[in-house]
Structure formats: C-alpha cells, structure tokens
Amino acid sequence: MSTALEIEKSVKQIRKTIPSHVTLLAAAKTRTPEEVEAIIQAGVTHIGYNYVQEALPFISKIGAKAIWHMIGHLQINKAKITVENFDIIETVDSWKLALTLERHCEKTQKSMPVLIEINSGREENKTGLFPEKVEDLVVQMSGLKYVQVKGLMTMGPRFGDPEDSRPYYQTTYKMFEHLRKLNLPDTTMEYLSMGMSNSYLVAIEEGSNIIRIGTKLFGER
C-alpha cells in the first residue's frame, strides 16, 4: 500500500509528463479508502472502477468531489445501479446494453455520457466491439435521447514494450476521426480513453486524451 505522500509524488511525476488537455484518471480497483482519499487530496478528480459494487462505498463517501467512470465490462443487470451512481460509462459495447441504459436514464431524466469500447486487438477473449462493428452501433445510438456517445475507449493487448501498443492506438484513433467526420446527431468525438501505466505516453502521442492509470499512481496491486 502506498502512503499519501508517495501518491502525491506519483501524481506530480505523471502530470509533468503529460499535456494539460489530457485527463488523468485513477484506475482505483483494489485500492484502500486511504489510497483513494489520497488521490483526491492530490487533485485527481477522475476515478475509474471496474465493478459497481467495489465503487459504491467510495462514491457514497466522496460523491461529487470526483467524476466517476465505469471502466470495466458492464453487465446488463448492473445497468440500473451504474446509471444511478456513475457519471460516465466508458465500456458500452452492445446495442442491448445501450438500450437498457437508455431505459434507466429515461426514468430519472438523467443524460449519460458514454464511450464505446473498441477491441482494437480483435482478441477473442476480450470485451469491446471489433473495429468493423463500431460505426453501426454509434449510428444506431445517435438516435438515443439520454445516452450520449462522446468518444471511444480501448484497452488493446498488453505488452511489455509500450511501442507494441502503438498500432492498436492508431487503429482506435482512425476510427475516432472517422466517426467525428460523420457528424452524427447528438454524438461527439470528444474523449479518447486509451493508455495505462506502461503505455500512456505512446497513447497520448496517438491522440489519447484520457489516460487510465493504476500501478503508476498507487504501486503494484
């Protein structure tokens, strides 16, 4: 576990290496309340969780002091509680999920920014849409009233050498630009969420403006 001072140092170090338009998101899975509190104290306002249940105690305690991102695969039966608690969902990858989210948003008249998760490495065992399926989903979702597509997210295959991630980030950026040019109604390509502890600099070079960092902020899990 990292101390508050160590976390503050890590935040400063990372901020030094990234341009100011890039959002630093803390990927907080498995971290203690003290660590999450320290990240807020260090000025990080975007926090991501993979599981709703893990996030809930933090959201109820910290609430509006942070912006809460769902960054894990979202099951249909968790759509309601996610809509009720999160500010942005980065992992929409099916029409069924989009429609379920829309239904829950409509009940509370809450609009929900979402990103489409793209499986840029076309990995069979991973979540996210294969690149060739993304446009159809985004077009279909542009008709939704409450769920609003604001960009793309990708994980990409994991490598030791961050250079190996570059082609997958390029694929995602190309899709991002392509979708932007379609000028779909109620759809914007504002956010491109890609890059983690070992690959965020490459991701930023390839157009990322949200980096999701766990290990480099908090230490090894």
Ligand X SMILES: *Cc1c(COP(=O)(O)O)cnc(C)c1O
168: left (phi over 0), alpha (psi -120 to 50) or beta: alpha
Q: Are residues 58 and 79 in contact, defined by beta-carbon separation less than 8 angstroms? A: no
What residues line the site for ligand X (CB under 6 A)? 27, 29, 50, 71, 155, 196-197, 212-216
Q: Of 113 and 214, which CB lies nearer to ligand X in the complex structure?
A: 214
Question: What is the smallest separation between the CB atom of 136 and ligand X, expressed in angstroms?
Answer: 24
Question: What is the smallest separation between the CB atom of 128 and ligand X, expressed in angstroms?
Answer: 10
Question: What is the smallest separation between the CB atom of 55 and ligand X, expressed in angstroms?
Answer: 12
Instruction: Of 137, 164, 152, 156, give the one whose Cα is nearest residue 196.
Output: 156
Q: Are residues 49 and 70 in contact, defined by beta-carbon separation less than 8 angstroms? A: yes
Instruction: Of 100, 172, 183, give the one whose Cα is nearest residue 139.
Output: 183
Q: Of 25 and 149, which CB lies nearer to ligand X in the complex structure?
A: 25
Question: What is the smallest separation between the CB atom of 65 and ligand X, expressed in angstroms?
Answer: 21
Q: Are residues 35 and 2 in contact, defined by beta-carbon separation less than 8 angstroms? A: yes
Strand pairing of 23-27 and 147-154?
unpaired
Residue 69: strand pairing partners = 48, 88
Cα distance between residue 128 and residue 132, in whole Å: 12
Q: Of 170 and 197, which CB lies nearer to ligand X in the complex structure?
A: 197
Question: What is the smallest separation between the CB atom of 167 and ligand X, expressed in angstroms?
Answer: 19
Q: Of 131 and 214, which CB lies nearer to ligand X in the complex structure?
A: 214
User: Which residue number places its CB atom closest to ligand X?
Assistant: 214
